Structure 1
Amino acid sequence: MRISTNWLQEWIAVEDDAQTLGDRLTMAGLEVDALEPAAPEFSGVVVAEITACERHPEADRLQLCTVNAGEETFQIVCGAPNARQGLKAPLATVGGVLPGGMKIKRAKLRGVESFGMLCSARELGLSEDAAGLMELPADAPVGQDLREYLALDDMVIEVDLTPNRSDCLGVAGVAREVSALTGKPVQAPSFSAPAPQHQDEIAIQLDAPEACPRYVGQIVRGVNPQAPTPLWMQERLRRAGVRSLGPIVDVTNYVMLELGQPMHAFDLAKIDGGIRVRMATAGEKLELLNGDTVELDNETLVIADHSRAHALAGVMGGECGSVGDATRDILLESAFFSPLAIAGRARRYGLHTDSSHRFERGVDPALQRQAIDRAAQLIVEIAGGAPGPVCEAASDAHLPKPLVVRLRRQRIGHLLGMEIPDERVEAILSALGLTVTAVEEGWDVTVPAFRFDIALEVDLIEELARVWGYDRIPVRRTATPLAIAPQPEGKVALSRLRDTLITRGYQEAITYSFVEPALQAQLDPEQEPLPLANPLSADLAVMRTSLWPGLAKALLYNQNRQHERVRLFETGLRFRGRLDGLAQERLLAGIVAGNQLPEQWAGEVRPVDFFDVKGDLEALFAASGEPESYRFEPETHPALHPGQSARIYRGEQPVGWLGAIHPEVQRELDLAGRSFVFELDLEALTRARVPQFSPLSKFPSIRRDLAVLVDEDVSAAAIEGCVRRAGGELLKDVVLFDVYRGKGVPQGQKSLAMGLILQESSRTLTDQDVDGLIQQVVSRLSLDLGAVLRE
């Protein structure tokens, strides 16, 4: 929203300069993005009148103009096609400076001297129009400085309004905000609606009153659409960022910028019968003013007559009803459209207009009559014409109703930490257009319909805080007790487990708790399903005993839509029957298929394997603070590949499964490629070791590497556990860095190489200490696992 400070001064006496006013608006929540002058710097330019014109003796396209500049008359050589006797235009006198630093000097053009320069609007930085001289009104005072005449020593404030402050999308709304900030009263420019000069009315029919509960129209006959828009209005539109297009359109734009009410004008001769505000028919076509033809759907509101649609309601008019040079009679439109009816419609058709910007945020539902009166008054003054009576159709049941909100004095102090005097509370709210009635505990505040953002007591307190000044709210150290942690230290938050998987490329899924009996039997055949008495469908007939069926269906769904790399996880309940009723257990489960990494330039991608998914689970286990308490033991599960399945234990407690889906099950489910699944008991997974403080040792650590031969069926986890038990407190970490099978290793055995990190907190370890501990570890491995130290 761009607003001229001079225009704002018409509504409220602002004593602050533009910078101070901008700062105050920003602190009040209306963020000022930019302050810029209304016109670039130039000097020595005055209002002048061409008193005579004759052809240049040496150039067909140049004219010799005698120009009256007030106190003096000058000879000016000019090439503008519209230079003529009697025209008033800006004259840059000798010594003057134009935008960009160009200094005006006496010049000789084709042998004839010129004492200055008649200017176009583009040369003065006031427009992109360079077609000819800037034409000034006939009553422009000759000799007056142009900056003074056009009030160009003005500032434009650009406010970046949040979507909830649609009430400030007009000069009137901003003036209301400034009034609340400064205490100055709003003094709206006075105007009177023109008296009707004929009794012609337009019939208005609201077929969609919930989308358009009020529509106001007025016929104005005998207008002159080629009349010039006054320069003062062109300048105000320019400073607001709106291009002048002609008197009728300029007036509707001016009223929108002034009051915040978008308007439209139709050529009355192109309207068949009356106005119908209705929903479009699917497939209906409409050519818009921008030249585009759109195909409408039945959720789009249109302004139509008895034959066809003439406008996208609240967005843009149609070419079929547009005002042109031949127009003599017009229909002015001023309507209230529900924000829900307009929101998204402009984007649906690739449009964004000043009207849609306002209507989708909400306009004042009581503003339509005032806006049409203002527009009719300006059109009659500028383009002539005879206005008729104002016609209105309204559905009161669908219009927004004023809301009454109780504001408690005590609540203000509680939320802001300070008291605001009662008289200031009432003055601030009243200045913002709210009606305040005092009651014992505070006030009953009637919120006007144009403040769509105020519905609760806290909204009113926010209004008080921003107008009173956030910088005036005292800074105090919090006196509230520290909040209790959402999880005890002995628990791992479920959100942390989710985040761990998400950072490793998983996406969370939510599937039904009811599944297909056949699918359940394939993935968890050992559990008896619990049938539903009244299933929604045959595909959802039993309660799940595992999360795998839902995840398998989700994987298939994604693969059928060409998603080759899928990594899903889910947290939820499984249901199992028992003698004393129904058991519900919380699980974390996942399914993985496709490549281990997304396609990339840095190297070849490979399919995901068992150990990739095992690594994902180990990252989960690390969150417990006791990753070493988990181990994977080879065991078989009917739904898993017999050579790639493992039971997961925490200590001696089984807590889940990991493995590749059995090839037969894979074929029956029609899954592409190899797929891996896991399922974990959440109760066990969320148990964490309470952190214990221990100081960092000041003494160096020592690493010793061991390579041992063990049978193939001995797991690395079993070896690591045995080493940790034997190493005691001096052993800080165990790192498995090599597994070898081949030459020098007997058939049926493997070689595992480990790095042992040893450290004492109170002294430096000696070779004797280390050797003794290594011997102790080797002996324990030999006794417990039959391991032999590899030479």
Structure 2
Amino acid sequence: MKISRDWLTDYVPLPDCSPEQLAHDLTLKTVEVEGYEIVDSDVVFEIDNKSLTNRPDLWGHYGIARELSVLYGLPLAPVPRVARPPSATGLVNLADPALHRRILALQCTVDSSVPTPPWLRDRLRRIGEPSLDLCADLSAYVMFSVGQPSDVRTSGDSIVLEIPTLIPSRARRGARTEASVRQEKGLDTQRADQAADLFLRLLAETDPSAAALGEEDLVLAPTRRAEIEVSLTEIEQRIGLRLPPDKILRILRALGCTAEITGDLLRVVAPTWRSTGDLSLPVDIVEELARIHGYDALPARRPVVELAPRSRLPLSRQVREVLAARGGATEVLTYPWSADHLLTACGLDAAVAIDHPPAPERGRLRPSLVPNLLEAAAANLRYHDEFSIFEVGAVFAATERTSAGILLAGPDGIDLFRRAKGLADLIRRYCHLTALDLAGTPERTWADPSARLAIQPGGALALVRPSVLRAAGIDRGAVACVELDLDALRTHPSRENRYAPVGDLPESDFDLSVLAADTVPWSQVADTATQANALVRRVAYLGEYRGSRIPAGHRSLTLRITLRPQAATLTAGEIATARSEVLAALERAGARLR
């Protein structure tokens, strides 16, 4: 929206200040001024429409002038009242209660040959509005002055000026226009009188022969003044400053409100031009007082930040996040009871029976998560050949305990066993467990004797026996399961943080395939390669191979060595030297280049 400084001076004697200062004061306390330009020695301000979308009273020069009079404590000239023509009927085309709040129509005689005065035409041009004819220009001038749209219907030397006040939600039915923008913001019905008075005064000045013949005024839903109550204590608490009562009353009365204070209670009756949804709540009054007093004048207090120890997430939640986010497994939720045939196949004795079971064959609470995970795996193997799922929940044996169960399904049992071991290690590392040792033989009937490990304290890692898989309806591939008693695990009181600077030079890596006996564990291979050269940053496991060309009792390990430079980008010679030293160290440890 464009606002002319010369136009504003019709209503308020502006202070002798620069356009920059005027724009700054308006932006700080009322609307956002995006900039200004000099047009014919006038200053035209560009106001951001979004900053006044809830202020229908500001969509005209008179509304902005009213704000400036409050900001600078200057008198505001009223819109002059004029004698209105006698009452008439038949001037209003249509009065719809579902669309209109008020319609005021004026019938006037006009000399169509009278041109628009140059001063009025120039003001419209400065804000980007074209000049059409006298009546259309007067209607536009009134809208940009007081913010009230109107329509002119011409019939010979007679015109009818119709000034409608629309219901905001019904205002815009077609193209977006200057008139529809103002109507949809919510105009008060009393503003039509200002528009009528201003139009009649300007018409009489520009065309002395013009005469007002009649007026028809249909008020369907008049705007009621909003009444608001707020305590002085709440005002102080919200703005952080206790304003003197006389200043509160002075600000509100300058804004057009009726205000009085009784004890701690402030009663405010808003003017009609602020009562269409703008001022309706106690916080609206607080905002008015704060902005006119000046946000920059409010006391600034440095915020007090109190740091408290962060409460650690429950171990069950930590396990869920590690398995899902780092382990790539999908969480499943199963019922707290298990099928009898799966309990029998897994060798589990369910001590807790259900009085009213959901099904005859599901009458006992689960003592382990493994049977239900096997049932879930059988359902998913119909659609997927390989996946990882887990569940964390209560199990019921002698007592109720919290358990974590992990199931991996796929074609290669050895690979599944190693991946399951890796998930158990993820939990140990990222949940900061004091201990999670894999050693010994677990007492689990469902565990395959060929690949099983006990987890201390309280758990097992193993491939599932083929007979158990058949009982669960799994007829292809292999399944590995991990079972952890979370109630038996303990975590460190705090994690160990280590600073490792990020390198600013590019790393280099190379792959090696070495032949190692089954008796040489991967951990020994990884540690040996890591310590072989100072440039070695990481040693990653890529895979292993067993075949006809590999001697019995051996496997081919493929690993990736990552080198991090220390002072300068690595040269080919430095990389070759590191590779030779890694190979020599691996050969001494029993893993030679394949």
**Range of TM-score over shorter length:** 0.5 to 0.7
Q: Equivalents in 2 of 1:574, 1:400: separation in Å?
A: 61
Note the C-alpha offset of 1:621: 8.8
Task: Establish whether residue 336 from structure 1 lines up as the match of residue 159 from structure 2.
Answer: no
- Tell me which amino acid in the other structure corresponds to 1:248: C
Distance 1:585 1:381, change over 3 A: farther
- Tell me which amino acid in the other structure corresponds to 1:330: V
Which consecutive unaligned segments of at least 5 residues does structure 1 have? Answer: 40-152, 268-322, 507-512, 514-525, 532-544, 553-572, 588-609, 631-648, 656-680, 698-702, 759-770, 780-786
Task: Establish whether residue 753 from structure 1 lines up as the match of residue 577 from structure 2.
Answer: no
Distance 1:34 1:754, change over 3 A: closer
Partner of 2:286: 461
Q: Equivalents in 2 of 1:653, 1:400: separation in Å?
A: 74
Partner of 1:783: none
Note the C-alpha offset of 1:757: 9.1
* Contact persistence 2:150–2:161 (CA under 8 A): no
Note the C-alpha offset of 1:442: 4.2
Q: Equivalents in 1 of 2:178, 2:118: separation in Å?
A: 22
Task: Establish whether residue 24 from structure 1 lines up as the match of residue 19 from structure 2.
Answer: no
Q: Equivalents in 2 of 1:6, 1:179: separation in Å?
A: 15
**Could you give the per-residue CA deviations for residues 609-644 of structure 1, whole angstroms, max 9, x where no partner exists?**
x9xxx9xx99x99995879x99xxxxxxxxxxxxxx
Indicate the SS of the match to 1:330: strand
Task: Establish whether residue 434 from structure 1 lines up as the match of residue 324 from structure 2.
Answer: no
* Contact persistence 2:102–2:221 (CA under 8 A): no
**Could you give the per-residue CA deviations for residues 408-428 of structure 1, whole angstroms, max 9, x where no partner exists?**
2x3333333333222222111
Q: Equivalents in 2 of 1:365, 1:171: separation in Å?
A: 18
* Contact persistence 2:142–2:198 (CA under 8 A): yes
Q: How does 1:193-592 map to 2 (within 5 A)?
A: 193-196=83-86, 200-202=90-92, 204-208=94-98, 212-265=99-152, 267=153, 323=154, 328-338=158-168, 340-342=169-171, 345=172, 351-379=175-203, 381-382=205-206, 384-395=210-221, 402-408=226-232, 410-451=233-274, 452-478=277-303, 480-482=304-306, 484=308, 488=312
Q: Equivalents in 1 of 2:36, 2:249: separation in Å?
A: 32
**Could you give the per-residue CA deviations for residues 290-348 of structure 1, whole angstroms, max 9, x where no partner exists?**
xxxxxxxxxxxxxxxxxxxxxxxxxxxxxxxxx5x85744251321322x334xx56xx
Match 2:77 to one of 187, 203, 209: 187
- Tell me which amino acid in the other structure corresponds to 1:356: S
Note the C-alpha offset of 1:584: 13
Q: Equivalents in 2 of 1:623, 1:258: separation in Å?
A: 72
Partner of 1:155: 43
Indicate the SS of the match to 1:464: helix
Indicate the SS of the match to 1:13: coil
* Contact persistence 2:224–2:272 (CA under 8 A): yes
Q: TM-score scaled by structure 1?
A: 0.46
**RMSD of the alignment, in Å?**
6.2
Q: Flag the structure with higher helix content.
A: 2
Indicate the SS of the match to 1:206: coil
Q: Equivalents in 2 of 1:213, 1:167: separation in Å?
A: 19
* Contact persistence 2:240–2:298 (CA under 8 A): yes
* Contact persistence 2:100–2:164 (CA under 8 A): no
Partner of 2:447: none
Distance 1:224 1:468, change over 3 A: same
Note the C-alpha offset of 1:454: 3.5
Indicate the SS of the match to 1:450: helix
* Contact persistence 2:102–2:165 (CA under 8 A): yes
Distance 1:11 1:486, change over 3 A: farther
Note the C-alpha offset of 1:188: 1.8
Distance 1:574 1:790, change over 3 A: closer
Q: Equivalents in 2 of 1:170, 1:257: separation in Å?
A: 5
Q: Equivalents in 1 of 2:563, 2:457: separation in Å?
A: 23
Note the C-alpha offset of 1:207: 4.5
Q: Equivalents in 2 of 1:488, 1:257: separation in Å?
A: 62
- Tell me which amino acid in the other structure corresponds to 1:16: D
Partner of 2:57: 167
Distance 1:738 1:722, change over 3 A: closer
* Contact persistence 1:10–1:188 (CA under 8 A): no
Q: Equivalents in 2 of 1:177, 1:230: separation in Å?
A: 29
Note the C-alpha offset of 1:182: 1.0
Indicate the SS of the match to 2:185: coil
Partner of 1:176: 66
Indicate the SS of the match to 1:424: helix
Partner of 1:59: none
Indicate the SS of the match to 1:10: coil
- Tell me which amino acid in the other structure corresponds to 2:297: R
Indicate the SS of the match to 2:95: strand
Note the C-alpha offset of 1:243: 1.4
Q: Equivalents in 2 of 1:5, 1:218: separation in Å?
A: 31
- Tell me which amino acid in the other structure corresponds to 1:473: L
Distance 1:262 1:202, change over 3 A: closer
Distance 1:486 1:12, change over 3 A: farther
Q: Equivalents in 2 of 1:235, 1:393: separation in Å?
A: 35
Identity %: 24
Note the C-alpha offset of 1:31: 1.9
Distance 1:755 1:377, change over 3 A: same
